[in-house]
C-alpha cells in the first residue's frame, strides 16, 4: 500500500478512466467501512445517530410553520391584522401549553412500557396530525389540531431518556450534548425549509410533506433503535407523592427542573423583539429579513458548535461546574447586547451567547442521568421537558411585556438578572451539594 493513493495520470482517456474507476472503488470502500464500523459499534452510538436524525426531523417540522402560519390563518378567513396576530400567538402557543401538561404522563408510561414505544407513538401521532393541518377549513379546526399535537408530543423527551439509559455514565455529557444539536439544528433549519416549501408547493402541501417526514422519524426508530427494557414493578406502582418524595431524597433533581424553566424563559425572552431591534439598529438596511434571520440563527449556530464539546468537558470536570460557568457567561453576555450600535455587533454577541448556552441543557440532562435511577428516567425527563415547555410559554410573553413597558434594553438587563439568579441557585442547590457529596 506504499503507492496509495495512485498518482493522477499525465494524460490519455484510458489512463484517466482507470484512475477514476480506482478512486470510485476506494471512495465506496471507505463509505462501506465507515458504515460497518458504525453498525458494529456500541448500541448507544448507533442509537445516538438515529435519534439525532429523528430529533432533527421533529424539531424542523415543529418550527417549519413559523414563516407562513399568519398567512395560513388569513387564508382560513381571518383578515384583520390584529386578529391575525392574536390567532397566530394562540395557535402556536397552544401546542406548548398542552405539551407541558402531557409530558409527565408520557414519561410515566415510558417507565412502564419502554422509551422506544413512546418515540414511535409520538412520531406517528405528530406526523398524522401535522398532515391533517393541511385539510382544515377554519381557524378553530387549526387550533384544535395544534393543541392535539401538544398532547401527543414527547419525542425529544423520550429520545433523551432512551439515550441516557443506554449511554455509559462517563459518556453521558458528550452523548446528550451531541443529541441536543439535532433539535437545535432542526429548530434553525425548520423555518427556512418552511418558507421555501410554502412558496414551492403551497402551504397545504407543506403540511403533508412535513407529516411524512415526522412519520419517517418513527420508522427510523422502529427499524434501527433497539431497547432492552425491563420495567421495575415498584416504579409501575409509584404514585405522584412517592415519586416527589424520591426526588426530594436525592436533593439535586428537583432544583434542576427550576433551572431548566429559568434557562428556557431567559433564552426565549429576547426572541419576540429581535427583528424590531435589528430594524432599529439598521433602519436603512435593504436586507432586513436576511439580517434578522442571521441574527436569530447566530445563537443556534453557537449552540451547535459548543454543545458536544462542553458535554465532553462536563464528562471530565463535572456537569455541575460546566452548568454554573455557562450560566455566568450567558448572564454576562446579555448585558452588552443592550448597548450595541449595529446588527452585526448584535449578531456577534449572540453567536458568543450561543457558545455559552450550549453548556446548559446537556449539563442539566447529564446531572439528571447521574442522580436518577434508570427505572425513573422517563418520568424525570418528562417533568424536565414540561418545565422547558412552561419556560417556552413564559419567556416570549414576559419579554414582550418588558419591552413594551420599559424598552428593549431592559429586556436584556432583566434576562441577565434572571440567569444571574439562576447561577446563584445552581451554585447553592447543585454545585455546593455535589462538592459535599464528593467530599
Number of residues that make up the chain: 439
What CATH number does the domain located at 42-231 have? 1.20.1250.20
Break the chain into its structural domains and give their ranges: 42-231, 236-439
Mind listing the pLDDT tens digit of every residue in the chain (439 residues)? 444 444 545 555 566 566 555 555 555 555 455 555 655 667 788 899 999 999 999 988 887 776 677 778 888 888 887 787 678 778 877 888 888 888 888 888 888 888 899 999 999 999 999 999 999 999 999 999 999 998 998 898 889 889 988 888 888 888 888 898 888 888 878 877 877 787 788 888 889 999 999 999 999 999 998 888 777 777 666 777 777 787 778 777 888 888 888 888 887 787 767 777 888 888 887 766 677 777 877 888 888 899 888 888 888 888 889 999 999 999 999 999 999 999 899 999 999 999 998 888 888 888 888 888 877 888 888 888 888 888 888 888 788 788 888 888 998 999 999 899 889 888 887 777 665 555 4
Element (H, E) at 67: none
What the block records as the C-alpha cell of 255 is 432544583
For the question of whether the overall pTM of this predicted structure is more than 0.85, the answer is no
Q: What CATH class is the domain 236-439?
A: mainly alpha
How many CA atoms lie less than 13 Å away from 383 in the CB half-sphere?
A: 19
Query: One fold for both 42-231 and 236-439?
Result: yes
Under a CB-based contact definition with an 8 Å cutoff, are residues 9 and 2 in contact? no
Of the candidates 145, 140, 139, the residue with the CA atom closest to the CA atom of residue 126 = 145
8 Å CB contact between 265 and 394: yes
Report residue 342 as a C-alpha cell. 449595529
Grid coordinates belonging to 319: 456537569
257 CB burial (10 A radius; 0-12, 13-18, 19+):
buried
All cell numbers assigned to 314: 462536563
Secondary structure (3-state) at 149: helix
Amino acid at each position: 500500500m506504499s503507492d496509495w493513493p495512485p498518482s493522477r495520470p499525465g494524460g490519455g482517456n484510458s489512463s484517466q478512466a482507470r484512475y477514476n474507476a480506482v478512486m470510485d472503488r476506494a471512495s465506496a470502500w471507505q463509505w462501506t467501512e465507515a458504515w460497518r464500523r458504525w453498525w458494529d459499534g456500541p448500541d448507544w452510538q448507533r442509537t445516538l445517530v438515529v435519534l439525532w436524525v429523528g430529533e432533527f426531523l421533529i424539531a424542523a417540522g415543529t418550527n417549519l410553520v413559523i414563516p407562513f402560519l399568519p398567512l395560513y390563518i388569513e387564508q382560513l378567513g381571518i383578515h384583520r391584522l390584529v386578529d391575525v396576530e392574536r390567532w397566530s400567538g394562540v395557535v402556536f402557543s397552544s401546542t406548548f401549553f398542552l405539551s407541558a401538561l402531557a409530558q409527565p404522563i408520557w414519561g410515566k408510561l415510558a417507565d412502564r412500557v419502554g422509551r422506544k414505544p413512546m418515540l414511535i407513538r409520538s412520531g406517528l401521532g405528530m406526523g398524522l396530525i401535522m398532515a391533517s393541518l393541511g385539510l382544515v377549513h377554519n381557524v378553530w379546526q387549526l387550533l384544535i389540531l395544534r393543541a392535539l399535537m401538544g398532547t401527543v408530543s414527547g419525542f425529544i423527551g423520550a429520545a433523551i431518556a432512551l439515550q441516557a439509559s443506554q449511554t455509559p455514565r462517563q459518556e453521558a455529557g458528550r452523548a446528550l450534548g451531541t443529541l441536543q444539536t439535532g433539535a437545535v439544528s432542526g429548530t434553525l433549519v425548520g423555518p427556512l425549509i418552511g418558507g421555501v416549501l410554502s412558496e414551492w408547493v403551497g402551504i397545504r402541501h407543506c403540511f403533508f410533506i412535513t407529516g411524512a417526514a415526522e412519520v419517517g422519524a418513527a420508522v427510523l426508530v422502529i427499524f434501527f433503535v433497539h431497547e432492552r427494557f425491563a420495567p421495575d414493578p415498584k416504579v409501575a406502582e409509584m404514585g405522584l407523592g412517592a415519586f416527589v418524595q424520591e426526588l426530594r431524597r436525592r436533593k439535586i433533581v428537583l432544583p434542576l427542573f427550576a433551572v431548566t424553566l429559568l434557562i428556557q424563559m431567559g433564552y426565549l425572552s429576547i426572541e419576540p423583539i429581535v427583528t424590531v431591534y435589528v430594524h432599529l439598529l439598521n433602519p436603512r438596511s435593504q436586507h432586513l429579513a436576511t439580517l434578522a434571520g442571521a441574527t436569530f440563527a447566530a445563537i443556534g449556530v453557537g449552540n451547535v458548535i459548543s454543545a458536544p464539546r462542553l458535554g465532553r468537558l462536563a464528562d471530565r470536570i463535572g456537569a455541575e461546574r460546566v452548568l454554573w460557568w455557562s450560566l455566568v457567561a450567558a448572564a454576562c453576555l446579555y448585558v452588552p447586547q443592550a448597548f450595541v450600535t449595529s446588527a452585526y455587533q448584535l449578531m456577534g454577541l449572540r453567536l458568543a451567547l450561543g457558545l455559552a448556552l450550549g453548556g446548559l441543557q446537556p449539563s442539566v440532562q447529564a446531572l439528571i442521568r447521574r442522580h436518577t435511577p434508570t427505572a425513573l428516567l422517563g418520568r424525570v425527563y418528562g417533568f424536565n421537558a414540561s418545565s422547558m415547555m412552561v419556560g417556552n410559554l413564559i419567556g416570549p410573553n414576559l419579554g414582550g411585556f418588558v419591552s413594551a413597558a420599559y424598552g428593549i434594553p431592559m429586556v436584556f438587563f432583566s434576562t441577565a438578572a434572571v440567569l444571574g439568579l439562576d447561577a446563584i441557585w445552581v451554585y447553592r442547590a447543585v454545585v455546593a451539594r455535589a462538592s459535599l457529596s464528593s467530599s
